[in-house]
Amino acid sequence: MCGKTTLKFILLLFTLLIISFSQPALAADTTNGAKIFDVHCTGCHINGSNIVRRGKNLKLKALKKYDMDSIEAISSLVANGKNNMSAYKDRLSEQEIQDVAAYVLQQAEKSWR
């Protein structure tokens, strides 16, 4: 009896582990993204603008023009940088990058209001 109980427990534990690792990552937290944006991005991108290159701002029209209107595209840019923009993959976690990307896209869709 003790062997069957142990086996059932091991199977249950194994099943729970499989389920927990197969769940998608937590959804992006735009509240956290706003905090990260304020600390790391506002210096160049206040209210979605760009003080270095005006046309490459964070407004929805520009994001669409440069195929940057998705969380994946913005996350990649934040992580890896490009031209004058620094890479943040060594300063922010993957979740923080996802959070700030979701915040940027959310703000762009609301015209940065």
What value does the mean pLDDT take over residues 104-113?
A: 96
CA-based nearest residue to 97, from 80, 75, 82, 77:
75
**Most distant CA pair in the chain, distance:** 73
**Digit-coded pLDDT (tens) for 31-89:** 999 999 999 999 999 999 999 999 899 999 999 999 999 999 999 999 999 999 999 99
Domains in the chain, CATH or no CATH each = 28-109 (1.10.760.10)
Q: Which residue has the higher pLDDT, 23 or 21?
A: 21
CB 33 within 8 A of CB 99: yes
